Amino acid sequence: MNLLLSILIFLCLTVPSVAKAEGDQQKNVNLAGLTPDDYDVKIVGGWAFPIGHKLWYVVEASGSHAVAELLFAVRVHSWNTVDIHPVLPHDTFAEDVLKPLTPGVD
């Protein structure tokens, strides 16, 4: 990997999948069995909200395609909505995103 991007992955269990025979525990086992090194992805951290059936991962990867391939391999898309978002360092975010939105403010 040359340039690593920080990426936030948000997984939300969809209502129809709650009724499927495979329970949340098995799905979490599938996620725990991820082999991110095979996909050029490094899992940096995560958070779970079990009552709301929501999971967040922060990863470093060469791009969103590498993340998508990893999640596709464990079929996360079949029982979750999947959102993948880039994450910028705060200084870059402030300079490149916030500053242009607030002209005249330094």
* pLDDT tens profile 57-82: 888 988 888 888 888 887 777 777 88
The answer to whether the CB of 81 falls within 8 A of the CB of 12 is yes
Domain limits, the chain: 5-101
Q: pLDDT grade, residue 1 (50/70/90)? A: very low
The answer to whether the CB of 61 falls within 8 A of the CB of 71 is no
Chain CA centroid to CA 59, Å: 7
Summarised one tens digit per residue, pLDDT across range 19-28 is 454 555 555 5
Query: Is 70 exceeded by the pLDDT of residue 36?
Result: no
Least confident of 13-17, 34-38, 73-77: 13-17
The answer to whether the CB of 31 falls within 8 A of the CB of 76 is yes
Q: pLDDT grade, residue 14 (50/70/90)? A: low
Evaluate if pTM is beyond 0.75: no
Mean pLDDT value across the chain: 77
Distance CA 51, CA 65 (A): 30
Give the CATH class of 5-101: alpha beta
